[in-house]
Amino acid sequence: MKTRKHSRPIRVGVIGVGRGSSFASGATDLVGMKLVALCDTWEKKLQEAGKRYGVATYTDYDKFLEHDMDAVVLANYFHEHAPFAIKALAAGKHVMSECTCNATLAEGVALCRAVEKSGKIYMLAENYPYTQFHMEMRRLYRSGEIGRVTYAEGEYNHPIEPTAINQLSPGLNHWRNWIPSTYYCTHALAPLMYITDSLPLSVNGLSIAVPEVTDALPRVNDPGSVILCRMDNGAVFRIFGLWLPGHSNWTRVHGVHGAMETTRGPGYFGPGQVRVWHDEWDCPTGTPKERTYAPDWPEHADLARRAGHGGGDFWTNFEFANAIRSGQQPFLNVYRGVAMSSVGILAWKSALQDGAPFALPDFGKESSRKAFANDHWSPFPAHAQAAPGQPPPSIRGIVKPSAKAIANARKQWKQQGYQGK
């Protein structure tokens, strides 16, 4: 895992100065990177960030891509990543993209093709696999102690105080106000895929509509969902989220010879412990039937502890830099990234049909993925004209926010300097 030595740092540009600030501050010589440019359309915040980091700033993405740099980190809006990534790859830049690769299946196909054509490194910046306990669970799984995975559960349920969520979602058409409950599934699914090195083959989804939670906000989506994934080794994974009351970040893996999980508790990641247990008739010699402990990262623990998202914000930059140096695609490559992002899309198709199963294509094979090259199905307003019959963002259909919720949100948006609708 050591960072490869190189005489010149990797010159990085970041788009998005909100969430992107974590990537910007982490692009240092500690991971062999140097921040050289920032891009955002919110000029006031962009200029503040530019002065803070002492780098060039751009409001025009095409001009930003002309800057002399090696790689681009995308921390722009959730549903915008694929078109920006494809442009950056065409411009000869390596790309690391936040949280979802594609907002439609067509984007997923186009992105895979773009990475293959460019020969550049592409990485999904999914940070949850890199907590100390998920990295330890990967080590344990690879050791064979619990055997092949049979069933696993991942939860990422992150409710946010109403004023705070309005501040994070400026504008009636902001993606957070429209995102279907299944789409933000990578925080729960990625750790399970990382631990077990498995891929989803099909999905079933059910959405949970709760008017008591959503109707006080200018949101038109549902707050929760459950997704079942059939994996390529026959296992079933259950994924739960998104912002129902009751914070929960949790991971469990059952194998043919035992099980392991993160322990539950208060805080963003609970106590940060791993629990491992075996049935008394199937316990390896010399191994306790049950043990619970707090693991550390295998290396660079001091740097990881200072980073956000449980150390993941350090590790994503670290893994991206190592991939560029080596010329080898990272674990969270375009095929795994598009697959887990597409789980959210197909699970929403399933939820709108009350749980009907949908098969995922093999995005690494053109013969499998080409059937979805023109699938522009999407609930986001920005995609409304892309195809007829676009879906609603809620199983309740098209929900109209109350005048009171809109007025309250607009007051908060104005206070933070947002000038849009």
Please give the average per-residue pLDDT across 106-131, as a whole number: 97
Which CATH number characterizes residue 42's domain? 3.40.50.720
Angle between helix 186-196 and helix 334-351 axes, rounded to 10 deg: 130
Q: Clarify whether residues 72 and 157 are in a common domain.
A: no
Residue 276 lies in a domain: yes
| Local confidence band at 155 (pLDDT 50, 70, 90 cut-offs) | very high
The pLDDT of residue 4 is 47
The pLDDT of residue 285 is 92
Q: Clarify whether residues 210 and 353 are in a common domain.
A: yes
Residue 389 lies in a domain: no
Reported pTM = 0.95
Q: Clarify whether residues 174 and 284 are in a common domain.
A: yes
Give yes or no for residue 130 having a pLDDT over 90: yes
d(CA 75, CA 404) in angstroms, rounded, equals 31
Q: What percentage of residues in the chain have a pLDDT greater than 90?
A: 83
Q: Clarify whether residues 103 and 228 are in a common domain.
A: no
Give yes or no for residue 1 having a pLDDT over 60: no
Q: Clarify whether residues 94 and 159 are in a common domain.
A: no
Q: How many domains does the chain have?
A: 2
Please give the average per-residue pLDDT across 156-171, as a whole number: 93
Q: Clarify whether residues 105 and 141 are in a common domain.
A: no
Q: Clarify whether residues 121 and 258 are in a common domain.
A: no
* Structural domain of 118: 10-128
Q: Clarify whether residues 142 and 171 are in a common domain.
A: yes
Q: Clarify whether residues 53 and 77 are in a common domain.
A: yes
Angle between helix 186-196 and helix 132-143 axes, rounded to 10 deg: 30
